[in-house]
Amino acid sequence: MANKWRSTLTEANAVFEKYSVSPSELSDETLLRKWTGVDRSVVATLVATLRATATVTSPKADGQTYSGTWGVGQIEVVNEDGGALAGSATIFEPLKKSYNVYATPDNISFGRNRAYPFEQNENAWMYYERFKTEETKRWCNITKAGLDDEVWDHVRQIRTYTLFAAAVTADADVYPGGWAGGYYHRKFLYAIFYNDTLTGSAALIGATAPVGGWVVGKYYTPATATWQSKLAGQPESWFFDAWEEITTPVIREAYYEPNKDGTYDLYRSLEETSTISVMRTRPLQYAGMTLVSGSPTEGDGTITITGFLNQTEVIYANAQLRIGPDTYRVTANNTASSGTATSVAITPNVTQATEDLCAEYPNNVQVFWSAH
């Protein structure tokens, strides 16, 4: 004889119990729902069914839908011994929004952002300064199947356009029922490619070309992603509307780590270097593009040097300098005038090699200082 208690668990009968989310941690989103008035004689069967289900897509509670794929946690059963539900059982199902198939804006967070100067030396006293920025992103709770299904390959490397386009075509992740010339963008939201051949304003996997069109020799990545359906009646997914240029990117590291629930967190540190440089000088003694002035003769005991940044630089005794293959030492203090130190006393005397070098390149032979 049938009784009044439930013998099945349906989405329509799921009751909201509790919801929590941490705005700073996307992987920490939980939903607790329950079914009340359950027939105790079928509890074991119903629990076994829930346990066999690893994930629930778009679960409902009190008729409201919670989008996404949720992992099923530890099932609990409580017997009801009082009130209108006396004689039945209540089954609690905790859900964690922790199963993401791909790397999308739904599960991204920023692990670290930093910027620092990068020097490119011109010589001892002058260098060009550029800036490097390094950003580490984390995509949480991705399934291993999702990582293996192209996501890892597109995040961990920079491909040429030729190889990237071939990978997209080979993947053929098209809409159910087909969408002519279109692919899901969800696997490629964070891909980067080096443009080796693409020119003009042609589209690539449904997104428009970057502003100004494609330029060979530059790097590109998808622009901001949006959640939408490309065709009426087709499923919604993540798409990007256009490509954008990215400046000299270098993937410093990419890796993924396992979580206790069987999912993985994916990390990538991406470095970019500014194209604009600033010339800077170091406040070194004897700084400047110092050059031999005139053409010294073998056996001379003095030499004239020009090009000091400090117009009245004092060249101190015992300072060491090099001209071509020869090394000399200053034997007496000498004060420059208008950036030129005249008749600087040196030892040993000027060599034949120095004379030949200065004769071949008059007023263009650099003086390198050891005492800065």
Q: Residue 368 CB: number of other CB atoms within 10 A? A: 14
pLDDT at 42: 93
**Tokens standing for residue 344:** 């600087």
Q: Which of 299, 281, 269, 246 is nearest to 121 (CA)?
A: 281
Which helix (H) or strand (E) segment holds residue 129: the answer is strand 126-142
340: left (phi > 0), else alpha (psi -120 to 50), else beta? beta
Q: How far is Cα 128 from Cα 145, in angstroms, rounded to an integer?
A: 46
Please write the tens of the pLDDT for every residue from 88-124. 999 999 998 766 778 888 888 888 888 888 888 877 7
Residue ranges of the chain whose pLDDT lies below 70: 1-2, 24-27, 98-99, 172-184, 230-235, 371-372
Residue 145: exposure state from Cβ atoms within 10 A (0-12, 13-18, ≥19): exposed
What pLDDT shows up at residue 184? 64
Q: CA 114 to CA 214: how far, in whole Å?
A: 29
Which residues, 6+ apart, have CB-to-CB distance to 221 below 8 Å?
190, 191, 192, 193, 243, 244, 246, 249
Report the pLDDT value the prediction gives residue 27, as an integer from 0 to 100.
Answer: 63
CA within 13 Å, CB half, 7: 5
Residue 176: predicted pLDDT? 43
Residue 102's φ and ψ, nearest 5 degrees, are -130, 175
pLDDT of residue 88: 92
Pairing of strands 250-258, 89-96: unpaired
